[in-house]
Amino acid sequence: MTRNSLAIPAVTFLAVALSPSLSSQEKLLRVANTSISTPAQTPAAAGLADEEMARLHLARKEYKEAEDIFYRLAVTNPKNPLYWNELGIAHHNQAQLDQALKCYQKAFKVDPHYADAQNNIGTVLYERKKFPKAIRAYKRAISIRDNFAPFYLNLGYAYFSQKDFENSIASFRKALQLDPTSLDPTRSRGGTVIQDRSVSVDRGRFYYLLAKSFAQQGDVDRAILYLRKARDEGYSDFNSVQKDPTFSLVLKNPAAEDLLAPRLVESAQP
């Protein structure tokens, strides 16, 4: 094959990227078939401007607009795994899981050390309720980058979905050790997708188990913090706290008195 024949696909994919009439399915096929050896066609300065604009669209939750720009960047810069990953996130936020998964897999194929992409593969598997496969994906991401709290959060959520509370809480505890603010939903995660739907209907129990885990470690302040969160989320079985020897140090702390005191129920006005 001559050098001229190798240049043809690059022109074809550039034309595809700029075509406004492509459906999501057609784009998915292009993503699956794009050669990672295709040379980039976009000048660096223009690429940077496009990337900034695409990120702005993501921040504004304008996911379709972000998708269009990241798609153009990805097919014209196919050796850049970041663009494939961000394209996947744009699809993911539109609930287009097939397209998102293809993009994450493409990013990881380009760079087998790109832990964010492997984590994001896990989030798609998680949403499809393939929890054992999601757990394997998260563990693979951790094996590449073992000091990043969001990966442990996702692993914890996946274990929680399987009712493996021991491994779940151990994973959350590790995340909090790495980043005490990791459970803050307002934190920006960049190219990392985080799932927490598994605990959305039982946050009270989730925080109680987390409090018990910290109590076992002798971390009284955090145990009280998450007991308070458990109460605020509707957890009411505080008799078990008073009877459980795990919380013996916590119960000696004055802050626990108000926390465990029965809440007064206001009488209805006539």
Classify residue 232 as exposed, middle or buried by CB count within 10 Å of its CB (0-12, 13-18, 19+). exposed
pLDDT of residue 227: 93
pLDDT of residue 261: 72
Q: Spell out the CATH class of 8-112.
A: mainly alpha
pLDDT of residue 241: 86
pLDDT of residue 191: 78
Give, in order, the Cα–Cα distances in Å from 77 to each of 15, 44, 99, 142, 198. 14, 10, 18, 27, 36
pLDDT of residue 236: 84
- The whole-angstrom distance between residue 5's C-alpha and the CA centroid of its chain comes to 41
Round to whole Å and give the CA distance between 114 and 190.
13
Task: Kindly list the domain boundaries of the chain, sorted by start residue.
Answer: 8-112, 203-260
Residue type, 80: N
Round to whole Å and give the CA distance between 58 and 130.
27
SS (H, E, C) the chain: CCHHHHHHHHHHHHHHHHCCCCCHHHHHHHHHHCCCCCCCCCCHHHHHHHHHHHHHHHHCCCHHHHHHHHHHHHHHCCCCHHHHHHHHHHHHCCCCHHHHHHHHHHHHHHCCCCHHHHHHHHHHHHHCCCHHHHHHHHHHHHHHCCCCHHHHHHHHHHHHHCCCHHHHHHHHHHHHHHCCCCCCCCCCCCCCCCCCHHHCCCHHHHHHHHHHHHHHCCCHHHHHHHHHHHHHCCCCCCHHHHHCHHHHHHHCCHHHHHHHCCCCCCCCCC
- Tell me the mean pLDDT per 10 residues along the chain, length 270: 35 32 53 46 58 92 95 96 96 96 98 97 95 97 96 93 92 91 71 71 85 90 92 87 89 84 50
Residue found under tokens 């995340």: 175
